[in-house]
Structure 1
């Protein structure tokens, strides 16, 4: 297939667009723009209601039913690692809205014809691999500190975590390791997906541009990462239902952040 390309773009080379320097105020301006986009036509998000919360609920139900209680928190927190890919349809809505095109949610399905789909899938695979690696590391950490036995009940599991020294060690070490995973994902992908939708540049260029943008704007992007983490935590606290509002807002804001950071040239 002549149009099948993953690492490089359509022209076969590596594209390195100009990176702008931004401040924290612009990050919050992008968040405000994301809220405004959501308010414009909130009916777009039917597909999120059908996909993201339901899949998350099924995964958590499986973990509880399969005596995998130690994996429940890693699974919940791990949603932050695959969030950039989960918001793909939102970026597309923002892109079409910016160009004055129809922004009905059905138009998002046209992504399946995009020449950038292989590149998008490659970065999505990277995020999914990070998610699986996080689950494996979290499981190994639990076994090392607590033991291989599955807790008999949720109450027993809770006592193991908050009632023992090993449990508190697990909390601290797990959060530090989870932060490292989240930092890698943030640096490599926070604008990668919007860029691939906007330009047929290939997976490598999109991720490399994301890293350069992070290096040039570390404080604003870390603030953005904290906003995303807080939003996803709020969504999880509402049993995933809140993601129907939070994920679109974060997705739209990410598109505006991409536009703020990456130059057209």
Structure 2
């Protein structure tokens, strides 16, 4: 009876203890991985590949293959994004937020690398020959670099917040302090008045600058953190090096991302459920082409 009691009482307590110790170790390891440690360095310039337009086509093709191989899992995972987008648009239809409808939608471009984290993980596991399900996306939380990934994600969230504040300021400067009475009135002012044209030109130019900043700093940084323990500063520096070495190709990639997201947003945002997994998987394969395996 004593052995039975040990098995029914002692083992659960022992199991819980092991779990707590493991969780504590993981949190500690993740926190230490934020800076990358003393030995961590950015990927050397000579180890970075020279990308071509063919690499973009190959990355998109490989991303599409990943999407087809786990299309149900990826689509279920990414249904969250059109739903979230619809909620944001609905919220923006209130008078006080109406000028931010377009900035909110374009914000998908700014937080796209963060939104695609689970898709990077699915592509990484498929590449390793492991069975992939939609729950595989949550294995990101088990990564030793999870703390670093969270910090980089907060950076993207901060960039989007500053973009929204900037967009609201652009509206106030060009259109005046008065808020539009309705969505129709806002669209009319934006499309048919000099103030509306000025708001559009300035907003697009400033938004493009924000998008370029995010593109340069995150084009490979999130996949790199999943793949190697380099830390946030080294991942960002590596991303900047990839961009500096391949400026035309990276800018073309940014235009492709923006175009696919735009097309995905057209049918009531539903297309984002396909656009996001395609771009997420393709981004992983572009990372593999930019930074060959060590």
- TM-score, normalising length from structure 1? 0.95
Which residue number corresponds to residue 3 of structure 2?
none
260, 280, 284: which is aligned to 1:251?
280
**CA-atom RMSD in angstroms:** 1.4
19, 32, 47: which is aligned to 2:61?
32
128, 143, 147: which is aligned to 1:118?
147
Q: What per-residue deviation string (whole Å, max 9, x for no partner) do you get for residues 40-65 of structure 1?
A: 2201121211x212112111111113
57, 63, 77: which is aligned to 1:47?
77
Is residue 2:249 matched to residue 1:208?
A: no
Question: For the Cα contact (< 8 Å) 1:19–1:213, is it kept in 2?
Answer: yes
Q: How far, CA to CA, are the matches of 2:113 and 2:72 in structure 1? A: 21
Question: For the Cα contact (< 8 Å) 2:82–2:269, is it kept in 1?
Answer: yes
Bigger mean CA deviation after superposition, 118-127 or 33-42: 33-42
Is residue 2:44 matched to residue 1:14?
A: no
Secondary structure at the aligned position of 1:20 is classed as coil
Question: For the Cα contact (< 8 Å) 2:42–2:234, is it kept in 1?
Answer: yes
Which residue number corresponds to residue 107 of structure 2?
78
Secondary structure at the aligned position of 2:93 is classed as helix
Question: For the Cα contact (< 8 Å) 2:109–2:258, is it kept in 1?
Answer: yes
Deviation at 1:113, TM superposition (A): 2.1
Unpaired stretches in structure 2, ≥5 consecutive residues: 1-26
Query: Number of matched residues?
Result: 264
Is residue 2:271 matched to residue 1:264?
A: no
Question: For the Cα contact (< 8 Å) 1:24–1:219, is it kept in 2?
Answer: no
- TM-score, normalising length from structure 2? 0.86
- Bigger relative contact order, structure 1 or 2 (CA pairs below 8 A, ≥6 apart): 1
Q: How far, CA to CA, are the matches of 1:11 and 1:2 in structure 2? A: 16
Alpha-carbon spacing, 1:164–1:6, altered in 2? closer, same or farther (3 Å): farther
Unpaired stretches in structure 1, ≥5 consecutive residues: none
Q: What per-residue deviation string (whole Å, max 9, x for no partner) do you get for residues 151-200 of structure 1?
A: 01112111211111111011111100000000000000011111111112
